Structure 1
Amino acid sequence: MPSFSGNEVTNEQIDELRDAFERYDLDSNGTLSAHEVRLALISVGYEITEAELYDLIHSVALYDLIHSVAVRDEDRLDLKKFIRMMAPRMVHVDSDQSLLRTFNMIDRDRDGYVTVQDVRAIMVVLGEVVTDDDIKDICQAVDMDGDGRISLRDFIGFMHSPI
C-alpha cells in the first residue's frame, strides 16, 4: 500500500482522492483553489469550516517550505499536495460510509431522497452561485435511474462512476 507520512492508504483511496481532485478542478488547470478543495473534501465525506480548510491548505505549504519545495501559490493545491494533505485523513475512511454521511447532510428532510431544493440549499451553503438550469443539470446527472429524484443508490453510483 502507498504510504504518506507514515499513514497507509489503499490504492482505492488514492483513486478516490484523484477522482475527487479531477471532479472539482472546475477550471481544469491542474490545481484546486481553496473553494475547490472544500468541494472535494465534502465529496469524500468531510464537513469542514473555512478556518479548518485554510489551516489544512497552509499546512501543506508549510511542509513544502520546511522541505525546500518551491511554493508558487500557497492557496492552491496540485494533485500530489492534495493527496499528501488527505492521506492521513483517509487511513480509516470507508468511502461508502463517507458518502452516506454526505448524502444525509444534503438530504435535509431525511426522506431518503435529495431533491432540487436540497441541491439548491447545499449550493447556497457552499457559496456557489448557480442558475436553476445548473441545478437541474446536476440533479439529472446524479439521478442514475431517471426517476426525478436522487436516492442514496443514485448518489453513491454517481460518486463512484468514472468522470
Structure 2
Amino acid sequence: MAISNLHHEKQHFNPDHYTEDGFFTREQILDYKDTFDAVDKDGNGHIDVNELTECLSLVGMKMSTIHLTELFEETDTNEDGFLDFGEFVHMLKLRSLVSSEEEDLRIAFNNFDKNHSRFIEADDIKALLISLGERISDEDAAEMIKMADLDGDGKVSFQDYSTFIKNS
C-alpha cells in the first residue's frame, strides 16, 4: 500500500536500517514510511498524536484514545511531544507485540482507573473494593498503592501495575 513516493525524495532514509532485527520486511518499512510521510503534513519528519491517529487508521490499526495516548507517550523516547520515524517504527513493533496477556492486564487496570486518569490512586482502590462489598481504610488503600508504585510518584501507572502483577 504505497500512499506516496515521498520516501524516494528523502535520500538519507535507509529502510534496511529498520529491518535489521527481522521484525518488519523492507517492503513493510517502505509502506510505513510512505504512510508516515503522508500524514506528516508539514514535512518536518515528526508526527503528533493527532497525525498518529490518522496514520494508524491508514495502516488498519484501531485503538482507544487512552491506549493511543499511552502508546504515544511510551514511544516518544525523547519526550518532545512528537514521533520521528524511528519512534513510529518502534511503536508499531510494540503494538504488534501486545499479547492477550497484556490486553487482559489493561482491562484489569482500567477496572481500577474508572476516572480514566491513566493512574490508579488510593481512591480508585477504595471505590472498586466498595463496589465489590469490601471495606478498606484510607491507610490500607494508600499502602496498596505504595506496594505497586514502582516509580514512587504516589500513583500506579499501567507500567507500574503491569510490572507489579507480572512479578507477584
Shorter-chain TM-score: which interval? 0.3 to 0.5
TM-score by length of 1: 0.44
Structure with more of its chain in strand, by fraction: 1
Q: Which has the higher contact order (CA 8 A, sep 6+)?
A: 1
TM-score by length of 2: 0.43
Structure with bigger gyration radius: 2
